[in-house]
Amino acid sequence: MPTEILMPALSPTMEEGTLAKWLVKEGDTVVSGDVMCEIETDKATMEFEAVDEGVIGKILIADGTEGVKVNTAIAVLLEDGESADDISAAPAAPKAEGPAAAPEPAAATAAPAPAAPRAAEGNRIFASPLARRIAADKGLDLSQITGSGPHGRIVKADVEGLSQTDAPKPASAPAPAAAAAPAAAPTADAIARMYEGREYEEVSLDGMRKTIAARLTEAKQQVPHFYLRRDIHLDALLKFRSALNKQLEARGVKLSVNDFIIKACALALQSVPDANAVWAGDRILKLTPSDVAVAVAIEGGLFTPVLKDSHHKSLSALSAEMKDLAARARDRKLAPHEYQGGSFAISNLGMFGIDNFDAVINPPHGAILAVGAGVKKPIVDDAGELGVATVMSVTLSVDHRVIDGALGAQLLAAIKDNLENPMTMLA
């Protein structure tokens, strides 16, 4: 029976995408792992591979089509012996009630079970020819195997590694959760009418801007933020950084203040392990490693690539990795695993002359540090003498569901201590 190939969710926030380019044409034979097309998600352009074998019977969505919803049929795959005449008999893909959203990383292990493989009419079981051959060789009963392909179709991955004794039983899909009613808001047309007679340019929203708007609106509505502020004296760090950069010049390494901030936050999460946590809906996940995300501005939006195990890495290693991630983020070439996860984020606007600001938490992170510029200010030192110091203002935005006030204060104090005593970060 012809099988519909559906638009995949290639990132956790993807609701729709652009089918940038087909790499196969109608009549081509594909096997599992063959790259069929390139899809532009809200984050990057990614390759989409076949999960089954067959012949491309019909391409339903043309190159360059924008706004293709997740789970929309984009092509039809034919089995051995089938022809294009069989396509009209194929069942239609189920229509989604609204935009389909991929699960958050924290809930990825709790995805709903796929549909049972048996067809609604009669007793036919939908399985690819390769899956049938593997099952026959192993003596597996296909009626007892749950398919993960479109419409519950059994594919190669479902039968590989199974034996007669461990074939899984079909699982019933959980009832979908009721969607919350959206808050009333002025329509686009109503807002446009407010500006009748005024000159303006209308800018269409791309996938990234739509995702940023949706996720940050959700964050401010659902995450109970509170804010902690400290001033950090940078003179010792700037002197130490200058000395290190002179020694590293021969290796072509130049450390930035941001590299020290990443390291300081990573070590602080180890010093205050209860704050190294994320909100996971009905529980809190406490992480062991320090996986620190850093906001990177790109044209039309931003990425937050994650530097995993930051507490174990040297300053020069963090610097090199950050430069690589930032460069590929600006080219939209990051893979999903490079910007998913982490428990803590850093947003630094100091290079733009911003003295201080409050950053919005990116769920499921427990906190984000907003970093301002280092500015020369008058201070009173420990001896009561008036002096001048380079002072950087930081604000820690905290998810109160994960971190309470005293714990957040401990975390921010540890970050401040690391930055004001930079040599200790190398111990």
* Pairing between β-strand 54-59 and β-strand 29-30 as defined by DSSP bridges: antiparallel
Question: How many other CB atoms sit within 10 Å of the CB of residue 362?
Answer: 20
Residue 304 dihedral angles phi and psi, to the nearest 5°: -125, 75
d(CA 319, CA 342): 18
Q: Which of 315, 318, 272 is nearest to 294 (CA)?
A: 318
Is 50:135 a contact under the CB 8 Å cutoff? no
Q: Can 400 be counted among the known catalytic residues?
A: yes
Q: Out of 225, 312, 365, 400, which one is annotated catalytic?
A: 400
d(CA 300, CA 294): 17
Q: Is residue 369 classed as helix, strand or coil in its secondary structure?
A: strand
d(CA 341, CA 261): 19
* Pairing between β-strand 35-40 and β-strand 344-348 as defined by DSSP bridges: unpaired
* Pairing between β-strand 73-78 and β-strand 54-59 as defined by DSSP bridges: antiparallel
Long-range contacts of 174-181 (CB under 8 A, 24+ apart): 174/112, 174/113, 179/97, 179/98
Which positions are annotated as active-site residues? 400
